[in-house]
């Protein structure tokens, strides 16, 4: 793979110098003002060996409203740049003061996505990993809490040499150092930076200032600003209105940032009139105003952007030579399998966060990947388990050919989940349990097959006479919540001659975890004696069960890990893939 410098060779002479936007050449900022002296107003700290220009930065902001798909857009652009042969890293900044997303309520913030290194991140990281088909890490994730935590720690250590610590230069300097460190660590050609929220939010104002400074220091030939804005279309008017977008762009420009590209989001195709208005009021040439209206699936976005040559425009803006044609045939085939399935099946998801589907975002995508693999559309039936019991469970699961019980915490809705598991086991409905879903399956099996009445998890009932699910030994002395669970990638040993082994076709796999509780080792023997198969174990701690399954059942598998986090559009996780296959066979 050619390096960014090779592809952008005609601009290599600029790498040692930076320029003002007006084009006035400066002496090397990194030689003149990267001083740790308390006298420098710049107070720039640069990673050893860092050189401007080796990595280009693409900064993506949003205006009008949040939640307009900056993550999907950023992932799609990164996907296209990878198709041109460049190395891409995606980053997101979230302005909240949490250190990470681990303690956030799914109802407020959606799914917590777990990366391989154990970082609990915003759900956009799932989109990044799926589109880029690569594992990211904590080096790609920045929050306001992380920035201020580091600064306050350094202040207590006296690292600022007696200076009063301020937003400028210290906070903005810390932000810039984070990205330059990533550039040194991963050595990408491009870093795509998604700014969470919208321009004008107090919590990201210092970050946007840091991005302005980054452009000033790196040189405008090395930084591209893209703004996603939402074009309103009130039903009462029947036309697209751009005023809110214009004001949002003006707000961005008032921070000293001139966007290079405007991406217009809307329900319908953006009209020529609306695009012309956005061009005039944002000082952006009309050819750099891009339409990104609602499409049938998120996977169509890269194809639609490539059709408008957005990837080429970004590369040319940054002085890099794009390929004449990139190969999207395999991706287009995937889209066709999603949009034109040969059959449709119904699968139930029995959880307690069903009021916000984003709580299960990665599960939905993993099901989608596997459905496309088998050219099958998967319709989901949502079951709120708080309202389920033995009397109505049959009606709740009527017409489904598979059941998923996802992760969760706390006692609410657990008896409903157990009732669903029992019905699936007894009526031979394919079952997939995920983390908490494994624990519910063990409790149900202990009660109804082993005869251990009132079996439970100590999380739900600390006084249960049969704690078949108990807290992990290394968790018993931990009192805090944030970042204290068993988190991230762990090796799982798969037992031969089991369904799990047939799925993975190898004895050792790596999957991602997020839990505190386990199958209590004191009950291993009685559970196994009565027919529960432990087909996956921790490769590190030999007595921790990671996968359970049943014989004489179309598909009954539960995992302590979350296989949805490692599923990819063109490479579904094998557990989801074969679960959906079993559901298809059940339907037939």
SS3 for 447-467, per residue?
Answer: HHCCCCCCEEECCCCCCCCEE
Q: What is the mean pLDDT of the chain?
A: 90
Query: Is 270 in the same domain as 354?
Result: no
Label each residue of 233-247 as H, E or C. Answer: CCCCCCCCECHHHHH
CATH number assigned to the domain comprising residue 564? 3.40.50.880
Residue 476 is predicted with a pLDDT of 55
Mean pLDDT over 275-302 rounds to 96
Name which of 281, 254, 127, 138 is nearest 199 in CA terms: 254
Residues 504 and 451 in one domain: yes
Instruction: Identify whether 17 is part of a domain.
Output: no
Residues 184-204 pLDDT 10s: 999 999 999 999 999 999 999
- Contact by Cβ (8 Å): 534, 548: yes
The answer as to whether 2 is a domain residue is no
pLDDT of residue 357: 73
Least trusted range by pLDDT, from 150-154, 408-412, 513-517: 408-412
Residue 367 resides in a domain: yes
User: Considering 129, 562, 578, 583, which one is annotated as catalytic?
Assistant: 562
395 and 266 in one domain? no
Q: Is residue 16 part of a domain?
A: no
Catalytic residue, candidates 8, 292, 435, 450: 435
Same domain, 275 and 157: yes
Q: Give yes or no: 562 in active site.
A: yes
Q: What is the pLDDT of residue 16?
A: 34
Same domain, 163 and 187: yes
Concerning whether 524 is annotated as a catalytic residue, the answer is no
Handedness of CA 282, 285, 286, 289 (dihedral sign): negative
Question: Same domain, yes or no, for 431 and 525?
Answer: yes
Do 327 and 347 lie in one domain? The reply is no
Q: CA-to-CA distance for 230 and 266, rounded, in angstroms?
A: 6
Same domain, 284 and 378: no
Asked whether residue 180 is assigned to any structural domain, the reply reads yes
Structure tokens at 86: 């460049």
Model confidence band, residue 409 (pLDDT cutoffs 50, 70, 90): confident
| CATH code, 207 | 3.40.50.300
Read off the pLDDT band of 1 (50, 70, 90).
Answer: very low
Local structure of residue 93 (DSSP, 8 states): E
Render pLDDT for 74-118 as a digit per residue (tens, 0 to 9). Answer: 999 999 999 999 999 999 999 999 988 888 877 677 789 999 999
Residue 32 pLDDT grade (very low, low, confident, very high; cuts 50, 70, 90): low
Residue 428 lies in a domain: yes
Shared domain check, 437 and 320? no
- State the average pLDDT over residues 446-461: 95
Count of the separate structural domains present in the chain: 2
- Rounded Cα distance, 402 and 351, in Å: 14
Find out whether 575 and 373 touch, Cβ atoms under 8 Å: no
Q: Which of 307, 331, 355 is the last residue before a domain boundary?
A: 331
Instruction: Quote the distance between the C-alpha of residue 16 and its chain's center.
Output: 35
pLDDT > 80? residue 54: yes
Same structural domain for residues 301 and 439? no
CB atoms within 10 A of CB 158: 8
Domain limit, last residue, from 331, 355, 375:
331
Structural domain range at position 421: 341-587
Annotated catalytic, 293? Answer: no
Asked if 151 contacts 170 with a C-beta cutoff of 8 angstroms, the reply is yes
pLDDT band of residue 24 (cuts 50, 70, 90) is: very low
Is residue 490 included in any domain, yes or no? yes
Task: Taking each helix axis as running N to C, give the angle between helix 329-339 and helix 361-373, from 0 to 180 degrees, rounded to the nearest 10.
Answer: 100
Of 274-278, 407-411, 555-559, 570-574, where does mean pLDDT reach its minimum? 407-411
**Sequence-ordered list of residues with C-beta below 8 angstroms from that of 17, at least 6 positions apart, any chain:** 25, 26, 27, 28, 219
pLDDT band at 18 (very low <50, low <70, confident <90, very high): very low
Identify the DSSP state of 322: P
- Verify that 325 and 351 share a domain, yes or no: no
Q: Are residues 228 and 108 in the same domain?
A: yes
Of the residues 331, 356, 376, the one at which a domain ends: 331
Q: For residue 7, tell me if it sits in a domain.
A: no
SS3 169: helix
């Amino acid at each position: 793979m050619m390096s960014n410098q090779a592809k952008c060779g005609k601009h290599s002479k600029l790498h040692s110098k930076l320029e003002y936007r007006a084009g006035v050449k400066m002496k090397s900022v990194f030689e003149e003002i990267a001083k740790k002296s308390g006298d420098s107003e710049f107070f720039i700290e640069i990673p050893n060996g860092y050189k401007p220009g080796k990595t280009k930065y693409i900064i993506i902001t949003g205006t009008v409203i949040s939640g307009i798909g900056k993550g999907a857009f950023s992932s799609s652009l990164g996907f296209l740049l990878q198709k041109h042969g460049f190395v891409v890293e995606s980053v997101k900044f979230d302005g909240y003061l949490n250190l990470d997303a681990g303690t956030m309520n799914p109802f407020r913030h959606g799914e917590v996505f777990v990366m391989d290194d154990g970082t609990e991140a915003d759900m956009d990281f799932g989109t990044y990993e799926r589109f880029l088909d690569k594992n990211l890490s904590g080096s790609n994730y920045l929050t306001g809490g992380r920035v201020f935590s580091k600064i306050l720690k350094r202040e207590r250590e006296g690292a600022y040499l007696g200076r009063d610590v301020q937003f400028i230069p210290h906070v903005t300097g810390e932000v810039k150092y984070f990205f330059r460190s990533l550039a040194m660590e991963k050595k990408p050609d491009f870093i795509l930076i998604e700014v969470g929220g919208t321009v004008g939010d107090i919590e990201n104002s210092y970050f946007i200032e840091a991005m302005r400074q980054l452009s000033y220091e790196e040189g405008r030939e090395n930084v591209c600003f893209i703004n996603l804005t939402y074009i309103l279309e009130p039903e009462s008017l029947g036309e697209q209105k751009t005023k809110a977008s214009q004001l949002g762009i003006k707000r961005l420009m008032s921070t000293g940032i001139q966007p290079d590209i405007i991406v217009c989001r809307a329900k319908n195709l953006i009209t020529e009139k609306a695009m012309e208005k956005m061009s005039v009021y944002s000082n952006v040439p009309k050819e750099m105003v891009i339409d990104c209206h609602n499409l049938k699936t998120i996977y169509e976005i890269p194809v639609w952007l490539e059709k408008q040559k957005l990837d080429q425009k970004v590369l040319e803006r940054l002085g890099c030579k794009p390929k004449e044609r990139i190969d999207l045939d395999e991706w287009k085939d995937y889209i066709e399998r999603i949009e034109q399935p040969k059959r449709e099946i119904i699968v139930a998801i029995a959880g307690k966060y069903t009021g916000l589907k984003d709580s299960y975002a990665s599960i939905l995508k993993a099901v989608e990947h596997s459905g496309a693999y088998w050219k099958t559309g998967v319709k989901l039936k949502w079951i709120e388990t708080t309202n389920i019991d033995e009397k109505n469970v049959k009606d709740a699961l009527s017409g489904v050919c598979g059941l998923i019980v996802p992760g969760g915490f706390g006692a609410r809705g657990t008896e409903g989940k157990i009732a669903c598991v029992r019905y699936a086991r007894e009526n031979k409905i394919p079952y997939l349990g995920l983390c908490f879903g494994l624990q519910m399956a063990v409790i149900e099996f202990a009660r109804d097959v082993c005869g251990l009445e009132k079996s439970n998890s100590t999380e739900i009932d600390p006084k249960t006479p049969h704690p078949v699910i108990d807290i992990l030994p290394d968790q018993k002395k931990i009192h805090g919540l944030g970042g204290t669970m068993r988190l991230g990638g762990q090796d799982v040993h798969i037992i031969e001659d089991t369904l799990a082994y047939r799925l993975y076709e190898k004895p050792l796999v790596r999957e991602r975890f997020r839990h505190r509780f386990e199958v209590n080792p004191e009950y291993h023997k009685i559970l196994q004696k009565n027919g529960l198969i432990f087909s996956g174990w921790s490769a590190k701690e030999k007595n921790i069960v990671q996968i359970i399954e049943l014989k004489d059942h179309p598909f009954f598998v539960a995992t302590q890990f979350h296989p949805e986090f490692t599923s990819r559009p063109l490479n579904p996780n094998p557990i989801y893939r074969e679960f959906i296959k079993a559901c298809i066979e059940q339907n037939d």
